[in-house]
Structure 1
Amino acid sequence: MSLRTWTIREVLEWATEDFARRGIESPRLDAELLVAKALGIDRVGLYLDLNRPLLEQERGLIRPLVARRREGEPVAYILGYREFYARRFCVTPDVLIPRPDTETLIDHALACIPVDAPCRVLDVGTGSGAIAITIAAERPLATVTATDLSEAALKVARGNAETHEVAARIRFERVDLVASGEQYDVILSNPPYVARSDIETLQTEVRDHEPIAALDGGEDGLDVVKALLTATEPATAPGAQILIEVGQGQAQSVLDFAIEETSWEPVAVYKDLNRVDRVVHLRRI
């Protein structure tokens, strides 16, 4: 951008064109979000003031945000938050960015958790806490445990729980999968499920910026899923339920493993908005 006067409209058009040339998937939306953040307003505010000339100081706030997006940094990390299930969650590079696919898990989990009775819920690999916090907020009688191996991720999750006023009903634990000696009625997880050989094929902004530990599911992508199904058997009684997010083409392999190697039996497989088998639902026998 030169020293000439630029309006909000012109800066948005410039950033949109720049992002589009670089192959960014949602160039206009990204431009609006970043310019709005720099100016301290929302996207509606941009459109109400499109023809306003920007001060040099304001342009100076916009430039570094645009530069970070040019380098492939996800918008959610630049903004510091992501919307999920109608709530705003703080995100940092220590946690996976919540995605709409995981809302499919929430929808079906809520159908398993009573509105009017206590329920013990476990969220394995909580990351930002999006699943655990959403369940606690939507089901006030539920008590929730959220586990993760990353203390940095747990710090983010605890902060989000405070923000959404459910911290008193969520126990955060740094542990691999499941704490020994605990019992649960419903278990939820969005585990790492990307096959190791596929990591390099991921979008640059995912591969180079999001935590690999939250993505890498081993050689076939199912190492953590299989370990989870085995580890949760002692933590559940017959009738307990588990819902796990999986990758495209993995659902049948998970069902086969559950039937052949564990005491979990199939209930259903649920599709996401793109009609991809996304959530495997099992019941303890």
Structure 2
Amino acid sequence: MAKPPLTYFAALRAAQQRLAAAQRDESAAQFLLMETHQWTFTQLVQHYRDPMPLTESQVLTDQVTRVCQGEPAQYILGSAPFYGRNFRVTSATLIPREETEELVEWVLASLPATEQSVVDVGTGSGAIAVTLQAERPAWQVTATDISAAAVAVARANAQRLAPAVHFAVGDLLAPVTGHRVAAIVSNPPYIDRAETAVMDESVRRYEPEQALFAANHGLAFYQRFAAVLPDYLTPSGQFFAEIGYHQGPAVRALFQAALPQATVTIRQDLSGHDRMVRVQL
């Protein structure tokens, strides 16, 4: 006699138990179910007692096996939520994170909603650029990345969510040479390779190295920006970037040294860690 199918609740609990036993984040099970169906948490609860089709149960089992082995759930599904929208992600792009939403909030709050030229450097999946364009339709947003594969992913996200974003492949600000803009935004590589041993295993194994690591104790890209910002920003322009949680003092010092007339502000994330910098010319 065949066993009755699992309910969604039973399947969720079984998946959570497997993840806990493998010392992985149990919330991945809920994420997989909700994202697969595009359910809210309330909708998931409403389906708790429904039987899960056998084929779907097998898919979830296989997905959980991959998470137990360290693969991020976002790469398994090929999508990740960011600022209320779903973005396609691949091994060519970082997974967008909640801390970067706070950077986006800072940019949105700092610039008027009227026409502005904004550049997102190192766009990856396009999460920052696409979100800014979607939230501020009057802005002219350009996104650059040295990785053509990442730009292809970002362009696909923009076509679906904010088609007005312009894209260019190139190093740092090279694609917009000759233009001055109101704001430059970046979530650059900022991890020191000396920190590799304490990094999350799944990040180390699956996310693109080129988007993670930077020379000079993780400060190389901030040093490069500091050297060229006056050539690319308008006289009252602003630069925004995400930083490592322990980099606040060093980042402040290097921008103040390179741009003594600028106002440099370090902002903490909701967890109380230094996470963002703003440089106002």
Counterpart residue number, 1:7: 6
Counterpart residue number, 1:121: 118
SS at match of 1:188: strand
How far did 1:184 drift? Answer: 1.1
Matches within 5 A, 1:4-153: 4-8=3-7, 9-25=9-25, 27=26, 29-36=27-34, 40=37, 42=39, 43-115=41-113, 117-153=114-150
Counterpart residue number, 1:167: 163
Counterpart residue number, 2:154: 157
Counterpart residue number, 1:220: 217
1:273 aligns with 2:270: yes
TM-score of the pair, normalised by structure 1: 0.90
Gaps of 5+ in 1: none
Deviates more, 1:60-69 or 1:171-180: 60-69
Structure 1 residues 72 and 258 mapped into 2: Cα distance closer, same or farther (>3 Å)? Answer: same
Match for 2:226 among 200, 225, 229? 229
TM-score of the pair, normalised by structure 2: 0.91
Distance 2:38 2:231 in 1: 50
How far did 1:281 drift? Answer: 0.8
Distance 1:152 1:67 in 2: 28
How far did 1:67 drift? Answer: 1.6
1:184 aligns with 2:172: no
Structure 1 residues 36 and 143 mapped into 2: Cα distance closer, same or farther (>3 Å)? Answer: closer
Distance 1:177 1:171 in 2: 15
How far did 1:147 drift? Answer: 0.6
Distance 1:41 1:103 in 2: 20
- Identity across aligned pairs (percent)? 34
Gaps of 5+ in 2: none
Deviates more, 1:7-16 or 1:93-102: 7-16
Code of the aligned partner of 1:12: L
Distance 1:106 1:41 in 2: 24
Aligned-CA RMSD value:
1.9
Code of the aligned partner of 2:183: V
Distance 2:182 2:50 in 1: 56
Structure 1 residues 142 and 47 mapped into 2: Cα distance closer, same or farther (>3 Å)? Answer: same
Structure 1 residues 252 and 209 mapped into 2: Cα distance closer, same or farther (>3 Å)? Answer: same
How far did 1:104 drift? Answer: 1.6
Distance 2:251 2:48 in 1: 51
Matches within 5 A, 1:183-262: 183-262=180-259
Code of the aligned partner of 2:277: V
SS at match of 2:178: coil
1:41-76 Cα shifts (integer Å, max 9, x gaps): 625444333334444333322222112111111111
Structure 1 residues 44 and 247 mapped into 2: Cα distance closer, same or farther (>3 Å)? Answer: same
How far did 1:264 drift? Answer: 6.3
1:206-242 Cα shifts (integer Å, max 9, x gaps): 1111111111022411111211222333112321110
Code of the aligned partner of 1:85: Y
Aligned partners of 2:126 and 2:157 also within 8 Å: yes
Structure 1 residues 78 and 255 mapped into 2: Cα distance closer, same or farther (>3 Å)? Answer: same
Deviates more, 1:48-57 or 1:219-228: 48-57
SS at match of 2:250: helix
Distance 2:186 2:274 in 1: 15
